[in-house]
Amino acid sequence: MADTSDTGKRMRIEVLRYRPEQDAEPFLQGYDVPYSDDMSVLQGLQYIKDWLDGTLSFRWSCRMAICGSCGMMIDGEPRLACKTFLRDFPAGSVRVEALAHFPIERDLVIRMDDFLAKLESIKPYIIPKEARSLAQGEYLQTPAELDVYEQFSSCINCLLCYAACPQYGLNPDFVGPGIMALLHRYNADSRDGGASARMEVAGSEAGVFNCTAVGYCSEVCPKHVDPANAVNQNKTRAAGDYFLRLVTGKGGAK
Amino acid sequence: MKPIPRRSNAPVFWGLFGAGGMLAALFGPVLVFMTGIAVPLGFILPSDAMSWAHMQAFAQHWAGKGLLFVVVALFMWHAMHRILHSLHDLGVHAGAALKIACYGLALLVSIVAAWVLLALGF
Amino acid sequence: MNTPDPRRPYVRPMAGWWRRNPFFVEYMVHEATALFVAAYALVLLVGLLRLAQGEAAWNGWLDALRSPVALVFHVVLLAAFVYHCWTWFRIMPKTMPPLVIRGKRVAPGVITACGVAATVVCSLVVLVVAWGATR
């Protein structure tokens, strides 16, 4: 619960509301919220829900940029509400909307069914290159082998990169930046042998070639993952798979 | 879950886009400067650098032919691939007709360039 | 039995998306350099056709290149190609696998700088070769 002791400062928080049972389309609703310098946008929304309007819906959990639940458009940019502070809007007003490019379920809550289905499709787990028995010991990995994929394993599925990707907005069939970062996290792991199985997705018409290297996905990532790099490295891999199959008769995609 | 769509043929066009883009980045500025500014003004390069005799000799040499063809064709493939995607960005989505129009224009320019270069003889 | 789905997800329109963020405006500008690359390819193609049509046609094309309109157009083309070059190498670090030299990952800025430096070297080589061959 945010500290309600009055500092005298007020923030005008404009929230894009949408209540499917009564609204034909979303509309902006403004709230005046007292705030102190240590309050995040998430705490501002919690103040609204607790004291001004209990009907406001939004997702949140950890309050510390770990769970990836509170992604929203803040003054038009995809941000985590818990990692964005009200003090950084000196004009005294801030506009908060549901993450761009996703259908709005209600208020600031988006529908992420599409993302979850795509996540399953890329087999987001290690498919061992070689089976080892317990007696043979663990799968060893050098620091250099770890370095190749480590940043991609920091993804928290917050979807900010999807809200930053116009190609996903224009064509929701595109697997998108976050899923490609996770796909690459496993493909690039020295213990993994599932790259050709995942190529069926990466090299498909819904795959990497929908990307036009806008690069904004990597700018907005709160965990310093570089999804644009994952997508574009896999363009090269998918092109290699495309042409090599003509020579070798192999290749993952259908 | 939706079935995974079929394999994309984009690598062919993406490869041409990339090759043309790299060529345009490395050599585009100096080529434009030479043919469009330096030679017409006689600035840095002599104003007869692209004279009939010089250019005939250049275009009749196999290496000159190759360079001219690669520049004209790859610049066009690069540009038309990008323009196709920009149209998509602007809401004009690529159906078969639009793809044929864009890539077809690049193919047409490539064929005309090849035909002219061969007609110039060796 | 069919029960109506009370969920009524609202899909927002994409029209005008690129005007919503300066990052996207810059993206559309650098994508638009393709129009100038295509224009230059067509200028060169016309030159090739004129070259095949004989000396008079070729000299006509050279005269056309000397007109003020053509010169201004080529200055614009040059600006577009330079911008293409810069934006091409700016995004390049994101398009390649990590480059490790002596155990350290090469920084994106260094890769971009190397690309631009390569263009400078290529430009000088072409100019020197053209100057040597035609003077």
What is the interface pTM, i.e. ipTM, of the complex? 0.95
Please indicate, yes or no, whether residues A98 and A140 belong to a single structural domain of this protein.
Answer: no
A180 falls in which pLDDT band (50, 70, 90)? very high
Angstrom distance (rounded) from CA A167 to CA A174: 7
- Considering the domain architecture, whether residues A142 and A210 belong to the same structural domain is answered as yes
**Per-residue confidence at A4, pLDDT binned at 50, 70, 90?**
low
Give the per-residue pLDDT at A249. 67
Closest-CA residue of chain A to B2: A117
H helix and E strand count, chain B: 5, 0
List the single residue in A with minimal CA-CA distance to C108: A229
- Does a structural domain hold residue A2? no
pLDDT of residue A245: 86
Q: What is the pLDDT of residues A205-231, one digit of tens each?
A: 999 999 999 999 999 999 999 999 999
Q: What is the pLDDT of residues A186-202, one digit of tens each?
A: 999 999 999 999 999 99
| A102, A117: one domain | no
CA gap A165, A181 in Å, rounded: 14
Q: Is A1 domain-assigned?
A: no
What pLDDT does residue A253 have? 56
Q: Is C10's CB within 8 Å of A233's CB?
A: no
- Asked if residue B7 is part of any domain, the answer here is no
A77-101 confidence digits (pLDDT tens):
999 999 999 999 999 999 999 999 9
CB-closest option in A121, A171, A203 to B8: A203
Q: Kindly report the backbone phi and psi dihedral angles of residue A80, in degrees, each rounded to the nearest multiple of 5, phi listed first.
A: -85, 130
Residues in chain C predicted with pLDDT less than 70, given as ranges, are 1-4
Q: What is the count of residue pairs from B and C with beta carbons less than 8 Å apart?
A: 155
Identify the pLDDT of residue B1: 55
Task: Specify whether the CB–CB gap between C25 and B89 falls below 8 A.
Answer: no
Q: Does residue A5 belong to any structural domain of this protein?
A: no
A218 touches chain C (CB under 8 A): yes
The answer to whether residues A66 and A91 belong to one domain is: yes
What does each C-alpha distance from C45 to A140, A193, B34 come to in angstroms? 58, 49, 16
Work out the angle between the directed axes of helices B62-89 and C22-31 (0-180°, nearest 10): 150
Beta partners for A128? A192
Q: At what angle do helices A227-248 and B10-32 cross, to 10 degrees?
A: 110
**Mean pLDDT within A100-120:** 97
Choose the final residue of a domain: A93, A110, A127: A110
Q: Tokens 């042409």 belong to which residue?
A: A243
With contact defined as beta carbons under 8 Å apart, do A205 and A171 qualify? no
Paired tokens of A40: 């995040």
Q: Are B86 and C34 inside 8 Å of each other by CB?
A: yes
Let me know the angle formed at the C-alpha of C90 by C86 and C92, rounded to the nearest 5 degrees. Answer: 120
Nearest CA in chain B to A122: B4
- Which of A86, A110, A134 is a domain's end point? A110
How many C-beta atoms surround the C-beta of residue A247 within 10 A? 8
| Chain B residues close to A121, C-beta within 8 Å | 1, 4
Side-chain-facing half-sphere of A155: CA atoms under 13 Å: 25
Domain identity same for A73 and A117: no
Q: Average pLDDT of B69-88? A: 98
State how beta strands A93-97 and A10-17 pair: parallel
In a domain, A95, yes or no: yes
What residue in B sits closest to A165 (Cα-Cα)?
A: B89
pLDDT band at A3 (very low <50, low <70, confident <90, very high): low
- Per-residue pLDDT at A8: 85
From chain C, pick out residues whose CB is under 8 angstroms from the CB of A214. 23-24, 27
Confidence (pLDDT) at B94: 81
Q: Tell whether B45 is covered by a domain.
A: no
Q: Which of A16, A57, A104, A185 to mutate to test the interface with C (most CBs of C within 10 A)?
A: A104
Q: CB of A199 within 8 A of CB of A237?
A: yes
- Whether residues A105 and A121 fall in one domain: no
Looking at the complex, does the CB of residue A26 fall below 8 Å from at least one CB of chain C?
yes
Which regions of A180-239 does DSSP assign to beta strands (E)? Answer: none
CATH number at residue A56: 3.10.20.30
> What is the C-alpha to C-alpha distance for residues A109 and A97, in angstroms, rounded to an integer?
9
- Across the interface, whether the CB atoms of A203 and B15 are under 8 A apart is answered no
Q: Is A176 in contact with A162 (CB distance < 8 Å)?
A: yes
Contact flag C34-B46 (C-beta cutoff 8 Å): no
- Is B44 among the domain residues? no
A44 and A167 assigned to the same domain:
no
Mean pLDDT of chain A: 94
CB atoms within 10 A of CB B53: 9
**pLDDT more than 90, % of chain B:** 91
Q: Of C34, C78, C89, which is closest to B32 when you measure between CB atoms?
A: C78
Residues 165-204 (A) with a CB less than 8 A from some CB of C: 166, 169-170
The candidate with the shortest Cα–Cα distance to C135, out of A17, B44, A115, B116, is B44
* pLDDT for res C63: 96
Domain boundary among the residues A60, A86, A110 is at: A110
Contact C65 B54 (CB under 8 A): no
Domain CATH code at residue B20: 1.20.1300.10
Judgement on whether residues A38 and A149 belong to the same structural domain of the protein: no
Query: Residues A222, A142: one domain?
Result: yes
Q: So what's the pLDDT on residue A5?
A: 61
**pLDDT confidence of residue C116:** 98
Closest-CA residue to A117 (of A1, A227, A201): A201
Domain containing residue B72: 12-39+52-119
CA B114 – CA A180 distance, rounded (Å): 40
Helix or strand (DSSP H, E) at B88: helix B62-89
Are B25 and C38 an interchain contact pair (Cβ–Cβ within 8 Å)?
A: no
Instruction: Write the residue in C6, C8, C17 that is nearest to A169 by C-beta.
Output: C17
Q: Which domain holds residue A69?
A: 10-110
Tokens for A178? 């976050």
Give a yes or no: residue B96 inside a domain: yes
Residues belonging to chain C with any Cβ–Cβ distance to chain A shorter than 8 Å:
6-12, 14, 17-18, 20-21, 23-24, 27, 31, 91, 93-98, 100, 103, 105
Better-scored residue on pLDDT, A248 or A93: A93
* Tally of domains in chain A: 2
Nearest neighbour of A209 by CB, restricted to B1, B2, B10? B10
Enter the tokens of residue A123. Answer: 């087999």
Number of domains chain B is built from: 1
Residues of chain A contacting C18 with CB distance shorter than 8 Å: 166
**Which residues 25-64 of B have a C-beta within 8 angstroms of C?**
25-37, 39-41, 44-46, 48-50, 52, 54-56, 59
Output the DSSP codes for B8-37: P-HHHHHHHHHHHHHHHHHHHHHHHIIIII
- Mean per-residue pLDDT, A103-121: 96
The answer to whether B89 faces chain A, any CB pair under 8 Å, is yes
Residues A76 and A199 in one domain: no
- Residue B81 forms part of a structural domain: yes
**Å between A117 CA and nearest CA of chain B:** 6
Residue at A4 is within a domain: no
Q: How far apart are CA B26 and CA A235, in angstroms?
A: 22
In 3-state terms chain A splits into helix, strand, coil percentages (rounded to 5) of 40, 15, 45
Which CATH number characterizes residue A201's domain?
1.10.1060.10
Task: Name the residue in chain C with its Cα closest to that of A17.
Answer: C10
Structure tokens at A126: 């290690």
Q: Are A70 and A126 contained in the same domain?
A: no
- Give the N- to C-terminal CA distance of chain A in Å, as an integer: 53
Residues A237, A122 share a domain: yes
Strand partners, A9: none
Distance CA(C20)–CA(C14), nearest Å, equals 10
Q: What is the pLDDT of residue A158?
A: 98
Q: How far is B3 from chain C (nearest CA, A)?
A: 23
Longest dimension (CA), chain B: 66
Full set of structural domains in chain C with CATH: 17-134 (1.20.1300.10)
Three-state SS for A115? helix
Burial of residue A248 (CB within 10 Å: 0-12, 13-18, 19+) is exposed
Band of the pLDDT at A157, cuts 50, 70, 90? Answer: very high
Q: What phi and psi, each to the nearest 5 degrees, are found at residue A96?
A: -120, 125
Subunit contact A20:C98, Cβ cutoff 8 A: no
**Unique residue bearing structure tokens 């919220």:** A33
Taking CA atoms, what residue in A is nearest to C16? Answer: A166
